[in-house]
Every structure is written in structure tokens, then in C-alpha cells.
Structure 1
């Protein structure tokens, strides 16, 4: 009861997470001090009782010593109970009580010293912990103010970017870089503020980096790919790109470029019409594709237009010059706005790229094919709406050609000629065989069937 309970080692408050542990330790100290003080008070009460008993026994012995006739004291008794025991019993009780008194007085002195030392040590620990808690609170306030200042600076820079930069792609990329730098600075501040031994962390990371590089190769490659994408500028948010991965083709608009992946929205395009037959999917592409996969960017360098072509075939006896003229005029009519915007963009791109062929007018080619003359018209169109303009120009060309009597569209067709020819009769009847001639104006070669 006089020994202090052995407590665990006092914590060293170096961050906010250890404050709760420090308060818990202070609570244990107070509880242990309370128990020891209660034991000390009980010891004092017992010691007081023993001292009173010692005085009483001493007084009895004194009475026996000063009384001339002790037998008178012994005879003052009732029938079953004697008020005064004999002198030997009193002397024996006095001796036992004296020994107990000596032990308790010695224990009180030792307990008092122990209690003073333990109380002093615990008070020093409490003062140290409270000082560390106060220091961490003040430190956290300073760190919080610093983080708020960094966030405020980042927010002000973003407002300035939106005010002075009008290109949405540049605004998006700049905001991403600002957020990355801001988060990095905050993490470094927290790391160096609350990390006790930075060199230990560097050593651990040095040993772990080799294993992490092997186990998380794709992750690190994606992070490196993100740096290449952001710094190199080959892809921006809002660009329309084409990805070919293991035979699958995906064309869509870049919604977001995160540290690990590119988020792509698959739009309705000629590719989805011919190959995928699906659109509207959200596709996630790892950033490491920039090192291993070929991809196309339809809107790189400020370009918003691409070349698209429409092919149709006319018969050999058609007026191919008129067909070329119709195709050219229809393309000029619908692609005029895109042609002018591309011409202006080419002028801006000459400072960055080596452009030799800057012809932006629609082009028409007439090519000989086995089944006719193929007319191929090429024109500039919006990279985000190629299918819509292709539909409009195709409809216009068909309407114009159908009004031309000298132009016939060639397509796979079959002509049947039926006539009687004098043939040897069969044994079953005397009727002549019918001959059927199949003539093809399209891709099917002429064949004769009998």
C-alpha cells in the first residue's frame, strides 16, 4: 500500500495525435497520486489509534506501579467480567503495541519520503506534458495559418488565371499544376513539422524504393506519364483523341487528366458507327499508355478541324467532270467556315511547326476502279462533329447527282435478259431451254447461267 504503482514511460508529445495519449497519462498520474494520498491518510489514522492505545496502556502500567495494594484493583470485578486485567497481560499488550507503533512510525517516515519524491516526479512530468501540449497547440495554429495562406495564394492565382487567360484548356492545366504544387507544399510542411527523424524516413524510403519500383511499376509509370503529359502538352482536357489498345479503338473527348489515368468520354463518331456500335461510355486510360501505345490527337496545337472524305462511284459512261464539280461545290458550301478557321490556325502554327502544305480548300479526286470511276472528295470539318457534316454533304451530293441525266451511280446490280433460243430438245419434252444472261454494272462480274 505504501509503494507507488509503476507507470509506463511518459509519452513525448510531438504531434496532435499524441495529445490524447498525454492527457490519458496525466489522468493516470492523478489517479495514482490520489490512491497514495488516501493510503497515507489511512496510515495516519491507524498510527493515531496505536498512539492512543499506547498512552492508555502506559497509563494502566503507571496505575499499577503507583498503587500500594494492586489486589484492590483486581478485586473490583463483576461476576463474569473483570474491569482491570492483571499487570502481566497489560505489560505484554504494551510491548506488542509498542512494536507496532515503532513499525508504523518508521513506515510513515518512509512513505512520506516516497510520496514526496513520487509527487515531485509526477508533477514534473505533468508540467512537461502540459508544456508540450501547449507547444503543439501553438504549433498547429501556426501550421494551420500557413496552410490557409497557401490555399489563399493558390485561390488568388486561380482567379488571376481566369481573369487574364481566356483559353479553357490552359486554365484547366494551370489549375491542375497549382493544385499539385499546393498539395505538395502542404504535405512537405506537415512532414517536416511532425516528423521526428527525417533522415530515418529517407533511409527507409531508400530501401523500400527498389521493392516499390518493381511491385508498383505500372503505378510509377502512370505518374511519370502524367508528368510527361502535363509538361509536354501532348494531351489536354477537352481534346479529342483516338486510342488503339489490343485491337480495340476508342475515340472520345478528354474529361480529366489525373495523376494515374485519363478519363475519356466516347462520342458518336464514324469509328463508333462502323466498328464499335456503342458510344457514350466513360473510358479510363492509364497514363503509361504514352510510352507504349500509339494515339492520335484530333485537336492538338489549337486545331479544331480534321480532314474527312466521302467516296462514291459512277459508271464509266457518266460525266465524271460534272460529278467532280458537284462534289467540290457541295463540300465548299458546307465546309466554308471550317476552311477559313483552319487557314487562320495554320498561320499561327507556322511559328511552332514546319508546315509545307497549307492548302485548306476541298479536294476532289477521280480514280479508276474495276467497277467504275470513284469520286473522292475531301474537306475540313469540325473534329467534334465529323459525322453530322458527312451526313449533310452526302445528302446534298445525292440530291444533285440524281438531277443529272448524264451521271449514273454505280452499285452492285444484276440485269436479267430472257429470250428463246433454238436448243436441242430434252428427252422428256420438246420445249427449248431458256437461257438467262446476268449482266452486272457494279462489283459483281458478268456471268452466264443456263
Structure 2
């Protein structure tokens, strides 16, 4: 066909191939549009339509690549043809292949498993399903500003594990450090307040004598070369604009942070209630006048 076009138009073979290439691209684009219009009328489910549209696009792209590569490499040898064909398939199906490679990485390297709590691309949740092209999260936090499930399912492409930072909250060691900041006024007895906060934090502290906790600590240290020197609760003190900030810090289960924080705050509020010399602080503005203030009574 290329030879015939070159002969009729009195042009070179490569110019004829350029014309045929343009014609093939236009024909395939029109064909894709017509097929999608017909198929769209028969599909109501948006998810099915999405998958069908992608599949048709991949198929038509693949057909176009085969036709064009066979034309341009006519007489160049089977090895060259196969090489270009493989490259074309890899380009056309790059997202699919990337997701498959991500699935292999997840399964073989155990970056996370079903049941783990992870965070990726700013989305946090519990893994409820892992498939060849995507994994599914039961969303945690986000709108309710807490470590509680929202009820929404997030479907994440597997390929993101290659390009995005992945945080795993429960793999290896199911505990995370959590801090509770308490701001009191400058006039408060900060030493007494610190004692109350430390006692409240210790009441919910991790039991290091628990065999399960000890085993997890040993396994984590052996696998990631992580050393936990201090696991006991501690308080830190600093001065802010509106008062003295006392921060309690402790290890909590990744899925129990909200309940533990609630119990600690209850203990702190009970302790402060018994001490009239301790007051929670909030942003305030104080104005001081130097000298007598005159009042005009006109």
C-alpha cells in the first residue's frame, strides 16, 4: 500500500509512510470515539464504564502500534519488530504494568498486609483488601479529626508505592508515640500541674513487662535496627505567649489513641479541679495603665 501511494503521489517511501501514519491515527481516533459512544449507551454503572473505556483505549492503541510498527519496520527483521512491539506495549500499558509491579512489591516485600493501618498520599486507613491493580483502605480520621473510621473506602493504585511515602503504623511494632499538650496560666503552680499530668500519663502507660510488648520490641530492633532507650512516660515544659505549656508523652496502641487520650484528660481535669491554684490558659489580652485615668463627664 505504501508503494502504491508513493507511486501515485510521486513521493518517497518515508513520505508515504508519514501520510499513512496520519491516516491510521485519525481512523483509530474516530473508531475509538464511535465504539465508546455505542458502548456508553449500554452501560449504566460508572465503574464498569470506566474499566471498559480504559480497556478499549488500550486495545485500540495496541492495534495502532502493531499496524504502524509493522509498516515502518517492513523488511527490518523479526527481532527489531518484536523489540519495537514490546516497547509499544509497555508504553500503552504503563499504568497497568506499574500497578502489577506494585502489587508484586506489596506481596513479596510485605510492606503492608490486610489489617495494617497505613498512610499514603495524605490518606490514612486500615487495609481491607489487596488486589492486582489496587488496594483498598477503610479511611480513618480526616473529617472527624480523630483516629476513628469514617466509613469511606479509598481505592489506591498499587503503583503509588513506588513514588509516594508510605507510613505503616502497625507493622512490626503496633505502638506509636503520642503527646498531650496542656497549657496553664503563668500564675498557676506549674510544678503541681506537672505532677498531675505525669501521674495521668503514667496511669495509661505501656506495660513493658507484657510478654507481647517485649517480643514486639525485640523483633522491631532486630529487623530495623531501631533502639528504644526510653519507653516510660515523660513530661516536657516550655513557655508560650499565653502560659506555661506542659506536654505529656507516652507510647499508645496505634488504634487506641483516642480512648487513652480521653482517659488521660479525665484524670488531668479531676486533678486540676482539686487544685484552686491551677488554671487552664487560653489566649488573653491584658491592658495596664500607668498613671491616673481622667474621665471627661461633659
TM above 0.5, yes or no, is yes
Match of 1:298 among 169, 176, 192: 169
Instruction: In structure 2, list runs of 5 or more residues that go unmatched.
Output: 1-78
Contact 1:264-1:284 at 8 Å conserved across structures: yes
Aligned counterpart, 1:220: 97
Matches within 5 A, 1:381-400: 381-400=252-271
Aligned counterpart, 2:24: none
Deviation string, structure 1 residues 127-152 (Cα, Å, up to 9, x no partner): xxxxxxxxxxxxxxxxxxxxxxxxxx
Match of 1:279 among 139, 146, 150: 150
Structure 1 residue 331 corresponds to structure 2 residue 201: yes
Contact 2:175-2:252 at 8 Å conserved across structures: yes
SS across alignment from 1:256: strand
Mean alpha-carbon deviation: is it higher for 206-215 or for 393-402?
206-215
Distance 1:337 1:219 in 2: 46
Distance 2:116 2:295 in 1: 74
Contact 2:138-2:149 at 8 Å conserved across structures: no
Structure 1 residue 313 corresponds to structure 2 residue 183: yes
Instruction: In structure 1, list runs of 5 or more residues that go unmatched.
Output: 1-201, 432-450
Distance 2:144 2:106 in 1: 29
Deviation string, structure 1 residues 317-353 (Cα, Å, up to 9, x no partner): 3222222221121112123448845444212322222
The Cα of 1:294 is off from its aligned counterpart by 1.1
Distance 1:366 1:232 in 2: 42
Change (3 A) 1:204 1:402: farther
Contact 1:315-1:410 at 8 Å conserved across structures: yes
Match of 1:211 among 83, 88, 102: 88
Contact 1:240-1:297 at 8 Å conserved across structures: yes
SS across alignment from 1:348: helix
Structure 1 residue 242 corresponds to structure 2 residue 105: no
Distance 1:411 1:339 in 2: 39
Change (3 A) 1:317 1:416: closer
Deviation string, structure 1 residues 235-269 (Cα, Å, up to 9, x no partner): 1111000122xxxx3211001111111111113x3
Matches within 5 A, 1:58-73: none
SS across alignment from 1:407: coil
The Cα of 1:206 is off from its aligned counterpart by 6.0
Change (3 A) 1:338 1:389: farther
Distance 1:211 1:221 in 2: 15
SS across alignment from 1:282: strand
SS across alignment from 2:258: helix
Structure 1 residue 256 corresponds to structure 2 residue 129: yes
Greater RCO structure (CA 8 Å; 6+ sep): 2
The Cα of 1:395 is off from its aligned counterpart by 2.1
Distance 1:326 1:277 in 2: 28
The Cα of 1:415 is off from its aligned counterpart by 6.9
Change (3 A) 1:238 1:351: same
The Cα of 1:207 is off from its aligned counterpart by 5.6
Match of 2:282 among 411, 414, 420: 411
The Cα of 1:368 is off from its aligned counterpart by 1.5
Distance 2:293 2:280 in 1: 37
SS across alignment from 2:195: helix
Bigger helix share: 1
Aligned counterpart, 2:11: none
The Cα of 1:367 is off from its aligned counterpart by 1.0
SS across alignment from 1:300: coil
Q: Provide the aligned length of Structure 1 versus Structure 2.
A: 217
SS across alignment from 1:358: coil
Match of 1:352 among 211, 219, 223: 223
Aligned counterpart, 1:9: none
